[in-house]
Every structure is written in C-alpha cells, then in structure tokens.
Chain A
Amino acid sequence: MSISFTSGSELLSMCSKSNVKIFEIMLAREVYLSQKSKDSIISEMQENLSVMKRAIERGLTEDIRSVSGLTGGDAKKLRYYHEKGQTVAGQELNKAVAAAMAVLEVNGAMGQIVAAPTAGSSGILPGAIITTAERFGKTDEDVINALFTASAVGYLITNNATVAGAEGGCQAETGAAAAMAASAIVEMLGGTPAQALDAAAISIKNILGLVCDPIAGLVEAPCIKRNAIGTTNALISADLALAGITSIIPFDEVVEAMLKVGKSLPCELRETGTGGLAETPTGRQIRERIFGDI
C-alpha cells in the first residue's frame, strides 16, 4: 500500500485515522519506498544509533583536537564541570549539551558521525535523545522508534523547505535538528503526534533567522556551540509541548516561514564564511592563520 505524506497536517490526519504514532507511519513509508524488510531498515537505524553513541563516548573521554587545531576538548570540560554537581542550568541539561558538543568535536577531528540532518548539526539529535532516553530508562528500541519520528519531521522540513545552511542559514540546520529531536522526545515520552509537531514548530520558531557564519568556513565555530544551544532548544521545546502548550503558528506554516526567512538572508550569512562571526577581526585572523593568504 502506498504511504505518502507531504505536510505535517497530512501526517497528523494519517496518525489519527489509523490511531498510530508518527514513527509507525514513517517506518511503514520506508518499507514501501525501499521495498526492504522492516527488520533490515530497523537494523540499519540501529547501526546509525551505534555510531552516534560511539561519537558521544569518544568526545567525552578522548583528547579531541580538530584538524585545523581550532576546536576540541570543550565537551570534556563541560562533562567534568557538570559531574562535580553544581551547574546553573541543571545537571541533566548540561549532560545532554556535553554529549551534543562531543559529537561535533569528533566531527571536526575527522571522526565518524551520522549526519542528522547535516554534519554541522549532527550533535543535537544524539545529544538530546540518547541522554533523555537514559534518564527515563528507555530501551534502544524506544530510541530507534524516536529516530523514525525525528526523520519524519526532518523529511517534512527537507521536502518543504531546506536543511542546508547554504540555502537557509543555521536556522535550517540546527533548527531542523532541534525540531527533529524535540518531536522524537515528545513521542518517546508518550506525547501525541500533535504535541510532537508542536514541539518541532516551537524549536524552529525559537531560532528563526539564525545565520550560518562559520569561522574560516569550517564546521567548527560557532557550530559546536550552536549544537549546544540547539540541544537546549530541543529539550525545552519538548517540555513545553508535553506540558500541553501548543504552537500558535502550526508546524507547516513555521516551516514555510523558515524557508522564506532563509531565502531573504544575504549570501554572506549562508555558509560562505564571509559574514557574521567569520568577518569579525578575530574571525579573519583565524582564517588567515589556518589557510594563509590563498
């Protein structure tokens, strides 16, 4: 049977008609599209989850330094800090953020990661979902289901807008990643499909307009810290939705607005490394130090 949806509202009506969750629709869609068995699709996702977990572990325990020498070691620093107990934003939040930063640092050091949806935003989904699942005693199966929920939201954003920083700025990359993570957490913790999309909408709204201005054009700074704030964004958006707070603007309209805002960003602020933080005196100095004057 053909299973297709191209908007959040369509997805929600499919969920309510069959009384199923988002992840179930997304998994059935993948079986239909790929003509592969459900088991082989799930084991492929399990492999993605394993790579995510290994990246977190590496970033939190090993001495990580990026190829350019610009970044590395901050995830570990945050881990030591929150393990001592007293933090401003809470230990659990800091743990999730440290995990997300760990993944991005491993990425910068030419380690293995899973683009989710992109390499530059690859810390948010594992950081937010895996640490939340641990805290609530969820199994790998629950996490894998949550990754299917996340991919439904990521698919809708990719299909109806963009997840590329070069097209939509950082709001498209870390905004999509946060929306994916927030919806996944909501569904994993028993929220409804509508609440999941509310969480996704809130995540994008929170950072609408965020520019992509990587220093020296590298996927390092400010990307690592934007994954930190993206994780925080995902977690608080999930809490808002689970508390029953709705998004005044529906998910589909938020995605459309994000695309329009992205298109109106000047080229300098869309992953070219020629505007924003990249063009500050310090940003320029770093670029010259790494690449010389070519």
Chain B
Amino acid sequence: MDYSVFDIIGPRMVGPSSSHTAGAARLGKVARRISGNDVAQVTFTLYGSFAKTYKGHGTDRALLAGIMGMEPDDPNLSSSLELARSAGLVYEFVISDAEPPHPNTVKMMITGSGGKKTEVVGSSIGGGNIKVVQLNGLAIEFTGEYPTLVIRHLDRPGVIGDVTGLMGQFNINIAFMRVFRHSKGQDAFMILETDNVIPKKVVSQVRALSDEIKDVYLIEAM
C-alpha cells in the first residue's frame, strides 16, 4: 500500500488512544458536518468498548470536542465538557449494553437550533479510522477518508444523473458512490466519495440542481 510518511509518523493527536480518542473526535466532527454545523443539543449513546471504557480514554470529551468542530489534535479537546457548558451546548451521555455492529460504536442524536433532528451512528475501527454506518435510521456506509458528499434527496428518476453530471463538469472523479433509501419514491441518501477536493461552490450548485435535492453536506477528507 502507498503509506505516506505521515501515516507512519503521525497523526498529531490528543491521547491516549487512536481508536477511543482520535477516532471518537472524528466521529463527532462528521456528525456535526451532517447536521449542517448546527448543534444545539446532542445525546451520545455509547456501545461496546466505548460504553465500557470511555472514562479512561476520554471518549466522552473527544466526541463532544468533535461535535463542537475540534480536530483530533486540538489541545482544547480535553476541556470540551467545560467549553460546551459555557457555550450553552446541551449534551448527555447514555450507556447502552445493546450489542453493537462494531466494538467501538456511538449513536449521536443531534437537535439543531431550529429543532431539526439528525441521527448519526458510527464506529471507530482502529488507528483513528472511522466508519459512519447509519444516518437518520438508514443503514449507509462511508469512511471519511475521501472528500465525501452526503446528499439527502427524494428517490426520483434523474436525480443521480444530475449530480454525477455536475461532478463531471467540475472534473471531480467519483471513487465510490452508493445510494440508500427508506422506501421507493421516498427519502433517500446518495453518498459520493471522490478523488478530488470538492470546492464549496459545488455544494451550492448541487443544492440548486433540483427540488428533489433536500440537503447537501460536504465532509472533507480526514
């Protein structure tokens, strides 16, 4: 594999654990992005090893730091509980003994300032790498290793073609793409992972493509 020197000496991170701390911060950050960077209230439900060992690994602080937009190497990560309180962000941690799909899993239930709800389930799969596995109750999958577009849309003919056509116009190569839906003709998600950096203006252009496209979120590569 083409490991970079910075895969070997790196990442810079706040300890103690790449999976339980750095990965947790990344999961929080991805959830924040999917909420449209609007988090007024959040409930974290911890499963598996996250539930059992979060205290010793600072997993709670890391998740909250990520939800507030901090990177895994932010020196303020360890003060996130205090920072959230003074910022008026309401948070809660719930411990679950349910069997998770992966040992290090968290469900993040976010309420935005206008009352909009977003639910993200993700796992920390080792070495700081993560996988988002559920979005608003729908099973999906992406890793955040590539620039990622998460698009909520109505399940109608032509929507996918509109989006991929626009990517082509911007010369953005789609590395992986998957579509998920609740049921035929209803709410659906399209997830595009690309080789190229996705400029912000692409996000607004995707949103303007059609009325069937409801939300577009850009998650920069980790």
Contacts and interface: CB of A to CB of B under 8 A. Distances in A.
B10 interface: yes
A117 B128 CA distance: 12
A236 B55 CA distance: 38
B56 interface: yes
B214 interface: no
B4 A219 contact: no
Contact of B12 (A34, A112, A158): A112
B58 A115 contact: no
Given A67-B58, A166-B126, A294-B52, A108 B8 contact: no
Given A67-B55, A291-B52, A108 B15 contact: yes
B18 interface: yes
A117 B2 contact: no
A117 B8 contact: yes
Given A67-B16, A216-B56, A115 B11 contact: yes
A20 interface: no
Contacts of A150: 8-9
A117 B9 contact: yes
A155 interface: yes
Contacts of B11: 114-115
Contacts of A159: 1, 3
Contacts of B4: 30, 33-34
Interface string A86-114: 00000000000000000000111111111
A119 B5 contact: no
A110 B77 contact: yes
Nearest to B22: A119
Interface string A188-224: 0000000000000000000000000000111110000
Contact of B75 (A112, A125, A217): A112
A164 B40 CA distance: 37
Given A110-B78, A112-B73, A159-B1, A154 B17 contact: no
A190 B68 CA distance: 47
Interface in B6-58: 6-18, 21-22, 49, 51-53, 55-58
A294 B51 contact: yes
A45 B5 contact: yes
B127 interface: yes
Nearest to B21: A110
B7 A158 contact: yes
Given A68-B55, A291-B52, A291-B56, A219 B15 contact: yes
Interface of B: 1-18, 21-22, 49, 51-53, 55-58, 61, 73, 75, 77-78, 95, 97, 126-128
